[in-house]
């Protein structure tokens, strides 16, 4: 009867540390926040006002636990990206128990690998869904409020060329199962989760007859901490991120610079070690980086191919090695026509 996005956001350590240290404190914050949510709904404030009331009460309590407000807000957006699609694809009249089960399974799926969701957290998620149902909130309305606008970074479902979602509310079968590259877009709820226990909103045996991903459809980058913490004037490019949302400051801040870190590790190895490496064979990373950047700028002037494919050597062995490790063709400086690109 509903499904989850395949690329689920992962709970960041800034949230998990305090929650694992005090799961009951988290449950208390969520419970108090939902009391404010329900009061706002009863007062006729509407969904947006109700969620603001929730944050006004729960946020300071989470801050007392050691969770900064910006992290609390970002994690809220990440939870919305995880459970919002399930709410949108669920039947429009799904009740509070169903919504609680969806929230419980979503947060369980967001837990870092090897970490179990504390029962207090699962209970708080179930209580939140139940409170929403008691307040008269419908799942499609919850989904619309919790998710980023369609087409924006972090929106968790495919959109058409106009930027409109392809999902028909209440119909999981309206959403493609795979993208154009064969990567999964959707996944079924856990077979042993809260939704399975409810027995009312699990997909039917054999799943749905999903349409193919159309060539004019697009899949926004998945929600992560970088995207969740973007300001109103930020773009992926301004945050140093790639079009798929990867490579942002949060990811870079936790990246392992060793030899197993892909391209960055290869560059560190070619330079004689990662920054701070004091081994006898280590070269000065800043000197080598300056040389590499200079050579890369020279390579960008080469009209024989893009800089990502051709790297013009400046005679620096470390820079040449790092370029080759990244898959570029290293071209001797003497082979470049000095008039190239000058008209």
pLDDT score recorded for residue 322 = 58
Output b/e per residue, 279-305; b: 16+ Cβ within 10 A. Answer: eeebeebeebbebbeebbebbeebeee
Q: Average the pLDDT over 108-128 and give the result.
A: 97
pLDDT score recorded for residue 320 = 64
pLDDT at 326 over 80: no
Q: How far apart are CA 237 and CA 95, in angstroms?
A: 41
pLDDT score recorded for residue 27 = 98
Q: What is the 3-state secondary structure (H, E, C) of 325-341?
A: HCCCEEECHHHCCCCCC
pLDDT score recorded for residue 236 = 85
Q: How far apart are CA 312 and CA 295, in angstroms?
A: 6
Q: How confident is the model at residue 242 (pLDDT cuts 50, 70, 90)?
A: confident
pLDDT at 313 over 80: no
Q: How far apart are CA 106 and CA 147, in angstroms?
A: 14
Nearest of 8, 223, 175 to residue 105 by alpha carbon: 8
For 199, the token pair is 């027995």
Contacts of 267 (CB under 8 A, 6+ apart): 292, 322, 325, 326
Domain residue spans of the chain? 4-223, 262-335
Nearest of 59, 57, 81 to residue 70 by alpha carbon: 59
Model pLDDT for residues 15-49, shown as the tens digit of each residue: 999 999 999 999 999 999 999 999 999 999 899 99
pLDDT at 201 over 90: yes
Asked if 242 contacts 236 with a C-beta cutoff of 8 angstroms, the reply is yes
pLDDT score recorded for residue 232 = 76
pLDDT score recorded for residue 116 = 95
Model pLDDT for residues 299-312, shown as the tens digit of each residue: 444 444 444 456 66
Model pLDDT for residues 145-178, shown as the tens digit of each residue: 999 999 888 899 999 989 899 999 999 999 999 9
pLDDT score recorded for residue 152 = 87
pLDDT score recorded for residue 333 = 60
pLDDT score recorded for residue 105 = 98
SS3 206: coil
- Percent over 70 (pLDDT), the chain: 73
Nearest of 212, 175, 172 to residue 189 by alpha carbon: 172
Average pLDDT taken over every residue of the chain: 81
Q: How confident is the model at residue 222 (pLDDT cuts 50, 70, 90)?
A: confident
Comparing 85-99, 183-197, 287-301, the range with the smallest average pLDDT is 287-301
DSSP E strands in 266-309: the ranges are: none
pLDDT score recorded for residue 235 = 85
SS3 311: strand
pLDDT score recorded for residue 245 = 80
Q: What 8-state DSSP symbol labels residue 4?
A: E
Asked if 269 contacts 186 with a C-beta cutoff of 8 angstroms, the reply is no
pLDDT at 99 over 50: yes
């Amino acid at each position: 009867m509903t499904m989850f996005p395949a690329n689920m956001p992962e709970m960041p350590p800034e949230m998990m540390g305090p929650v694992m240290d005090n799961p009951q404190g988290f449950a208390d914050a969520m419970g108090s926040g939902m009391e404010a949510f329900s009061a706002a709904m009863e007062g006729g404030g509407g969904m947006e006002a109700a969620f603001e009331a929730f944050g006004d009460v729960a946020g300071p309590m989470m801050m007392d636990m050691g969770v900064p407000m910006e992290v609390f807000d970002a994690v809220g957006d990440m939870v919305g990206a995880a459970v919002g699609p399930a709410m949108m694809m669920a039947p429009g009249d799904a009740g509070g128990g169903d919504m609680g089960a969806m929230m419980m399974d979503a947060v369980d799926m967001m837990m870092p690998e090897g970490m179990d969701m504390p029962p207090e957290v699962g209970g708080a998620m179930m209580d939140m869904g139940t409170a929403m149902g008691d307040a008269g909130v419908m799942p499609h309305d919850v989904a619309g409020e919790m998710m980023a606008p369609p087409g924006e970074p972090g929106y968790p479902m495919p959109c058409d060329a106009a930027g409109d979602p392809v999902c028909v509310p209440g119909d999981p079968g309206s959403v493609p199962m795979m993208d154009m590259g064969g990567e999964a877009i959707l996944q079924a709820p856990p077979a042993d989760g809260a939704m399975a226990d409810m027995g009312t909103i699990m997909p039917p045996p054999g799943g749905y007859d999903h349409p193919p991903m159309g060539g004019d459809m697009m899949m926004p980058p998945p929600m992560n901490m970088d995207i969740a913490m973007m300001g109103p004037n930020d773009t992926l490019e301004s945050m140093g991120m790639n079009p798929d949302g990867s490579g942002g400051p949060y990811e870079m801040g936790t990246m392992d610079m060793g030899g197993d870190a892909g391209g960055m590790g290869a560059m560190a190895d070619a330079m004689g070690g990662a920054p701070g490496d004091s081994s006898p064979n280590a070269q000065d990373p800043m000197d080598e980086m300056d040389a590499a950047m200079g050579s890369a700028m020279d390579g960008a002037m080469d009209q024989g191919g893009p800089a990502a494919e051709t790297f013009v050597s400046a005679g620096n062995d470390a820079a040449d090695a790092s370029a080759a490790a990244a898959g570029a063709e290293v071209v001797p400086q003497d082979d470049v026509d000095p008039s190239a690109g000058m008209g």
